[in-house]
Amino acid sequence: MKKQLLLDLAERAGWTGAQAALSLAVVELADVPVWWAAPVALALSSAKGWVAGRLGRKGTASTLPAGADPASLARGV
């Protein structure tokens, strides 16, 4: 596997795990049914993508450095 693909995979898996763990913590602290964790994780994922798109490179929601991001390499950024 290419290094960029592995970094992209690790980034996505890491963010997904963090969002899932945080959403479960939120629903536990709020004392609401655990099925609410899915919409909370969706909101966290959307917020992360929006913030990364504004603070990171234009046209991508990645938080990887430009040299490691497959989306940036494909565009020649």
Count of structural domains, the chain: 1
Domain that holds residue 21: 9-54
Residue 65 placed within a domain: no
DSSP label at residue 36: G
Round to whole Å and give the CA distance between 49 and 45. 6
Residue 21 placed within a domain: yes
pTM, two decimal places: 0.77
Q: Which of residues 52 and 72 earns the better pLDDT score?
A: 52
Output the pLDDT for position 19: 96
Output the pLDDT for position 66: 73
Q: Give residue 75's pLDDT band: very low, low, confident or very high (50, 70, 90).
A: low
Residue 41 placed within a domain: yes
Residue 33 placed within a domain: yes
Q: Which of residues 73 and 69 earns the better pLDDT score?
A: 69
Residue 36 placed within a domain: yes
What are the pLDDT digits (tens) for 25-65? 999 999 999 999 999 999 999 999 898 888 877 777 888 77
Q: Contact, 34 vs 20, CB < 8 A?
A: no
